[in-house]
């Protein structure tokens, strides 16, 4: 089947153009059973919900269709979330949960020597490659991984084979890949393709998954005043399609600032962000822009916990966002962090290392809980009176009293950086 690569000629690829591209993708295939792997609600602006909806409509009367959101360690989607993201016409029974601790099978191992080579000698452990057992089910004629290419704090650019080996993966690769990225340094890899973590994922696909009937549908999107634009669509298995998506995302989702803001205010959509595990995208995606001594204010109406997984939530509460040095020291001394490397990585990612303050404005966590993990606290209502999302525009704003802030309505759709820091 021919690969498809489309970039919007206007503001967005139209729904008719998208539907026709998906029809071309399916044309000529004889299918009995298909597995769709979209992201979950945490990729609300990926266009993956609409793509899944269209594919299901095309396939439901000609073959059996299963849909398994690539949850990683996230909570399973509720019926209400599935209806909101994928459309009400897909029966909830079509959706299968990915249980990263139990429903997995080991298909290989990335050797320690390879990990050491790609990490510049920083890490030298092997990484087991585990995937949800359904991905190895020979009854599937087609597996379709759907998702958005956008700057990412662990792998550099999100999606592609990350959707398989992390989104539908098991404990070893999730934990060890996250820790690998954290130790290597997120500011060295965010917004770039060939990171150490991506090289590990490429190895896993090349060596252990090449024979599976996998195809990728990759999107590049932007958001303007709440409206999502599908600017790029790439369909096929060839890595060059991912590289084209990366190049377009770098053009559209990297926002370079000509000066460093002293205060950045980020809003977290409560449908998408219910934990600091997810909400700390506000930290990751702005840390290369904020001035030394500055402050990040996170408006987080939906945040009610720290970790998506209960065990990780407890570890975040126990150790807190105490900076890279502090987290690594705790990791060396404590077995529970050694057993949950993704938690240790997250604590490193979510810390500012004292370079700027992080203030969470919440109503579903207490002051004691927020300050207990080393963040500042402000009541959400008080913060919204001063920083009203309805009155702010993305980018620079000057408040009535003269305070200048940089506002971001959704941290998941970009990376904000001082160009010199990005290119260093």
Neighbours of 359 (CB within 10 A): 18
Q: How far apart are CA 162 and CA 398, in angstroms?
A: 39
Provide the token pair at 301.
């109406």
Residue 285 contacts residue 416 (beta carbons within 8 Å): yes
Q: What is the mean pLDDT of residues 173-196?
A: 93
Query: How large is the average pLDDT for residues 282-304?
Result: 96
Looking at the structure, tell me whether residues 331 and 223 fall in a common domain.
no
Pick from 125, 127, 128: which is nearest to 107 by CA? Answer: 128
- Which helix (H) or strand (E) segment holds residue 345: the answer is helix 341-349
Given 237, 254, 271, the domain boundary residue is 254
- Mean residue pLDDT of the chain comes to 94
Angle between helical axes of 341-349 and 171-184 (0-180°, round to 10): 30
Residue 84, judged by CB atoms within 10 A of its CB (0-12, 13-18, 19+), counts as middle
pLDDT of residue 291: 95
Beta carbons of 125 and 196 less than 8 angstroms apart: no
Q: What is the mean pLDDT of residues 55-62?
A: 96
User: Hey, how many other C-beta atoms are within 10 angstroms of the C-beta on 156?
Assistant: 22
CATH at 374: 3.90.226.30
Q: Are residues 268 and 344 in the same domain?
A: yes
Indicate whether 315 and 367 sit together in one domain: yes
Q: Are residues 250 and 265 in the same domain?
A: no
Q: DSSP letters of 71-130?
A: -TTSPPPPHHHHHHHH-TTS-GGGB----TTTSEEEEEEE-HHHHHHHTTTS----EEEE
Domain stops at, among 225, 254, 283: 254
Integer Cα distance of 160 and 211 in angstroms = 16
pLDDT tens by residue, 226-247: 788 999 999 999 999 999 999 9
- Tell me: do 292 and 340 sit in the same domain: yes
Of residues 357 and 72, more confidence is placed in: 357
- What is the predicted pLDDT for the residue at 72? 83
The DSSP element (H or E) to which 254 belongs, if any, is strand 254-257
Per residue in 304-337, pLDDT (tens digit) is 999 988 999 999 999 999 999 999 999 999 999 9
Cβ atoms of 52 and 36 closer than 8 Å: yes
Residue 10 has pLDDT above 90, yes or no: no
Number of helices (H), then strands (E), in the chain: 18, 18
Number of structural domains the chain divides into: 2
Q: Per-residue pLDDT for 97 more than 80?
A: yes
Check whether residue 193 and residue 332 sit in a common domain: no
**Residue 47 confidence (pLDDT):** 93
**Exposure string over 333-353, b if 16+ CB within 10 A, otherwise e:** eeeebeebbbbbbbbbbbbbe
The predicted-structure confidence for 117-174, as pLDDT tens digits, reads as follows 999 999 999 999 999 999 999 999 999 999 999 999 999 999 999 999 999 999 999 9
pLDDT surpasses 80 at 369: yes
Domain range enclosing 125: 4-254
The answer on 273 and 139 residing in a single domain is: no
Asked whether residue 21 falls in the same domain as residue 71, the answer is yes
Query: What's the pTM?
Result: 0.89
335 and 201 assigned to the same domain: no
Q: What is the mean pLDDT of residues 82-87?
A: 92
User: Quick one: pLDDT band at residue 421, thresholds 50, 70, 90?
Assistant: confident
Task: Look up the CATH number of the domain holding residue 224.
Answer: 3.40.50.11440
Kindly state the helix (H) or strand (E) to which residue 424 belongs, with its residue range.
none
The reply to whether 329 and 204 lie within a common domain is no
Residues in the chain: 424
More confident residue, 71 or 73: 71
Local confidence band at 1 (pLDDT 50, 70, 90 cut-offs): low
CB-based contact 158:72 (threshold 8 Å): no
Output the pLDDT for position 302.
Answer: 97
Residues 245 and 327 in one domain: no
Query: What DSSP state is assigned to residue 356?
Result: S
Average pLDDT over residues 19-24: 97
Q: Considering 222, 254, 286, which residue would you say is the last residue of a domain?
A: 254
Tokens of 244: 């084209």
From 21-25, 96-100, 294-298, the region with the lowest mean pLDDT: 96-100
Give, rounded to a whole angstrom, the gap between the first and last alpha carbons of the chain: 40
pLDDT > 90 fraction of the chain, expressed in percent and rounded: 88
* 202 shares a domain with 274: no
- Do residues 168 and 201 lie in contact, with contact meaning Cβ atoms separated by under 8 Å? no
Note the pLDDT of residue 398.
97
Residue 211: how many other CB atoms lie within 10 Å = 6
- Give residue 424's pLDDT band: very low, low, confident or very high (50, 70, 90): low
For residue 73, CA distances in Å to 151, 350, 400 come to 20, 17, 42
Q: Tokens in use for 407?
A: 């506002």
């Amino acid at each position: 089947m021919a690969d498809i690569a489309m970039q919007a000629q206007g503001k967005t690829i139209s729904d008719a153009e998208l539907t026709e591209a998906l029809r071309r993708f399916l044309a000529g295939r004889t299918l009995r059973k298909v597995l769709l792997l979209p992201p979950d609600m945490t990729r609300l602006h990926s266009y993956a919900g609409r793509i899944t909806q269209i594919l299901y409509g095309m396939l439901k009367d000609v073959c059996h269709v299963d849909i398994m959101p690539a949850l990683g360690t996230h909570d399973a989607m509720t019926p209400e979330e599935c209806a909101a993201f994928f459309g009400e016409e897909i029966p909830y029974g079509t959706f299968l949960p990915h249980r990263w601790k139990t429903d997995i099978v080991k298909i290989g191992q990335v050797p320690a020597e390879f990990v050491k080579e790609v990490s510049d000698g920083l890490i030298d452990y092997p990484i087991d490659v585990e995937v949800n057992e359904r991905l190895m089910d020979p009854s599937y004629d087609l597996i379709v991984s759907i998702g958005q290419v956008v700057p990412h704090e662990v792998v550099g650019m999100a999606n592609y084979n990350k959707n398989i080996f992390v989104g539908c993966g098991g404990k070893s690769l999730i934990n060890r890949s996250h820790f690998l990225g954290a130790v290597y340094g997120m500011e060295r890899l965010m917004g770039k393709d060939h990171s150490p973590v991506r090289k590990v994922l490429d190895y896993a696909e090349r060596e252990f998954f090449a024979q599976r009937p996998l195809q990728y549908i990759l999107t590049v999107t932007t958001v303007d005043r709440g409206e999502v634009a599908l600017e790029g669509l790439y369909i096929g298995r060839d890595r060059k399609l991912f590289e084209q998506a990366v190049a377009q995302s770098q053009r559209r989702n990297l926002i370079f600032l000509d000066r460093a803001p002293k205060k950045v205010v980020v809003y977290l959509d409560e449908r998408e962000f219910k934990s600091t595990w997810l909400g700390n995208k506000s930290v990751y995606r702005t840390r290369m822009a904020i001035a030394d001594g500055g402050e990040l204010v996170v408006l987080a109406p939906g945040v009610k916990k720290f970790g998506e997984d209960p065990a990780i939530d407890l570890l975040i509460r126990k150790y807190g966002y105490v900076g890279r040095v502090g987290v690594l020291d705790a990791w060396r001394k404590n077995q529970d962090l050694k057993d949950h490397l993704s938690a240790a990585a997250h604590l490193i990612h979510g810390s500012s290392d004292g370079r700027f303050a992080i203030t969470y404005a919440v109503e579903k966590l207490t002051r004691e809980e927020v300050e207990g993990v080393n963040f500042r606290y402000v009541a959400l209502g008080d913060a919204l009176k001063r920083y009203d999302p309805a009155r702010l525009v993305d980018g620079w704003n000057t408040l009535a009293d003269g305070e200048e802030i940089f506002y971001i309505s959704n941290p998941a759709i970009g990376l904000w950086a001082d160009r010199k820091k990005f290119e260093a």
